[in-house]
Structure 1
Amino acid sequence: MKKFIRRDPQHRDQVPFLQLLPNLVTLSGMCLGLTSIRFAMDGRYDGAALLILLAALMDGLDGLLARRLNATSNFGAELDSLSDFLCFGVAPGLLVYRYFLEPSNNFGWIFVLVFAAACCLRLARFNVMRDENEAETSHHFLGVPAPAGAMLGLLPLFLALSGIADLRATPHLVAFWIGLVGLLMISRIKTFSPKAMRIPRALVGLMMFATVAAVGLMFTRIWLLLVTLDLIYLAMLVHGALKARRQGPV
């Protein structure tokens, strides 16, 4: 026997706040990305980079909230993709262009367009995979995720802000780098996913120590920390790609 639930007419057009919360977080991240672009235009490069980092944290938080609150929806997924394109495709590209590539006589702009277009294509492909449930069931990413691609694309800026190397004298090298990162985002290379990560018990203590050190660097030498994380991620990408190549097609 079917049970008929009588709906209160007063609440028919109302949405629970907790169901709306993940979308509000997504919009907040989008605002951070837009503000990062403004900071880059004003020459406040360190602030612009930090805002992109905060947008990446927001991107992880909105998905977590949506799953925990059972508030996932197609609307939220599309909104998240649009925000990701702005925060991790447009904002990093413009920031790198302003800091490094303006003197390159429009040569660098071509690679910024490649980077942004690659991010857009990746997010579109992810939307299709989401509909096919591939993104949720796979234990590997295909290519570099958009937030990670943004962090890799900003590696030359992190190197400059940390005082390690200023690559403004070689804008063509920076242009090729950001173009390469764009290609990595749309590649079919299998890269690691947190679902597939396994930490040997012997390294648990070392991981805890490294976490404490990372938190310390976050408040003292944040740009050096970001350079280190980018290099570790690159090493893991190479290791994952070589491992997948040895295993062959699944």
Structure 2
Amino acid sequence: MTKDAREGRLPVVTLVPNLVTMLGLCFGLTSIRFTFTEQFQLAAGLLILAALVDGLDGLLARRLNAASPFGAELDSLSDFVCFGVAPALLVYNFGLEGLAGMGWLAALFFAICCCLRLARFNVAAKDETSASGKSFTGVPAPAGAMLGIFPVTLWLSGLVDPREAQILIAIWMLAVGGMMIARFNTVSLKAMKVSRDNAVYVLLAAAVIIGMMLTRIWTFHVCATVIYLSLLAWGVFSKRT
């Protein structure tokens, strides 16, 4: 037993993943603040930042050998705020208030589905026989949040203002919530591997994506959402045939 272990101390580096998780949580909470002031561009942008940060804490925990039950629970709670509560409030304030009770029910349904999705993932992660690490059951919470704010980014991109048909926004939120708790497998990007021969092409693609995000982030988000939905549909129907 080391001296630090005997004294109940931990190396500072083991706190880094939890600090990253709390950074993502700050993004989510600040997004809620800007939602209340109807600064939808900042609110949506912070949620995208939270989604980008989300995968970083787990990666750091594995690389630094700092994974812990506390970190896993903190990450799950942060995900519920960032990808359940914040998107629901953003979309409600943006384009569901006009529907009164029905709009609020759609936002509630989305947030509750995210909570159920995270709870199911936590249970599966603790069950070594069910967690293969290669796929998710249902749309992951961060992806669900990015799908959920699609009406907002459609408006921010200048393509269309979905608030002219608020009932469609409510149906969209119900559909995305259903996808998060549905029983179908989606590929985990964290588990995907790239061969050395294709590494250069992947880096070039990443550079193009980063460039688009920095210059036309809202148009990029709209395109990425359409592509993701297409991949989901292809994956589901290809397994049925």
TM-score (norm 2): 0.92
Alignment partner for residue 211 of structure 2, among 211, 216, 219? 216
The structure having more radius of gyration, on CA atoms, is: 1
Distance 2:171 2:196 in 1: 40
* 1:236-247 superposed matches below 5 A: 236-246=231-241
**In 2 relative to 1, CA 209–131 (structure 1 residues): closer, same or farther, beyond 3 Å?**
closer
What's 2:46 paired with?
Answer: 51
Counterpart residue identity of residue 36, structure 1: S
> Once the 2 structures are TM-superposed, how far is the Cα of residue 192 of structure 1 from its aligned partner?
1.9
Conserved 8 A contact 1:118-1:185: yes
* 1:16-31 superposed matches below 5 A: 16-31=11-26
**In 2 relative to 1, CA 61–135 (structure 1 residues): closer, same or farther, beyond 3 Å?**
farther
**In 2 relative to 1, CA 136–72 (structure 1 residues): closer, same or farther, beyond 3 Å?**
farther
* 1:75-224 superposed matches below 5 A: 75-133=70-128, 136-194=131-189, 210-224=205-219
Distance 1:215 1:65 in 2: 21
What's 2:7 paired with?
Answer: 12
Counterpart residue identity of residue 113, structure 2: A
Distance 1:19 1:147 in 2: 24
> Once the 2 structures are TM-superposed, how far is the Cα of residue 243 of structure 1 from its aligned partner?
2.0
Conserved 8 A contact 1:192-1:236: no
Counterpart residue identity of residue 20, structure 2: V
Counterpart residue identity of residue 54, structure 1: L
Partner secondary structure for residue 191 of structure 1: strand
Give the gaps of 5 or more residues in structure 2: none
Distance 1:231 1:93 in 2: 20
Cα deviation code 1:28-84 (max 9, x no counterpart): 111111110000001111001111111112211100001111111111111100000
Sequence identity of aligned pairs in percent?
51
Aligned residue pairs total 241
> Once the 2 structures are TM-superposed, how far is the Cα of residue 190 of structure 1 from its aligned partner?
1.4
TM-score (norm 1): 0.88
Conserved 8 A contact 2:133-2:191: no
Partner secondary structure for residue 170 of structure 1: helix
Distance 2:238 2:77 in 1: 33
Segments ≥4 residues shifted beyond 4 Å? 195-210
Distance 1:218 1:195 in 2: 20
> Once the 2 structures are TM-superposed, how far is the Cα of residue 85 of structure 1 from its aligned partner?
0.2
> Once the 2 structures are TM-superposed, how far is the Cα of residue 216 of structure 1 from its aligned partner?
2.5
> Once the 2 structures are TM-superposed, how far is the Cα of residue 133 of structure 1 from its aligned partner?
2.3
**In 2 relative to 1, CA 192–7 (structure 1 residues): closer, same or farther, beyond 3 Å?**
closer
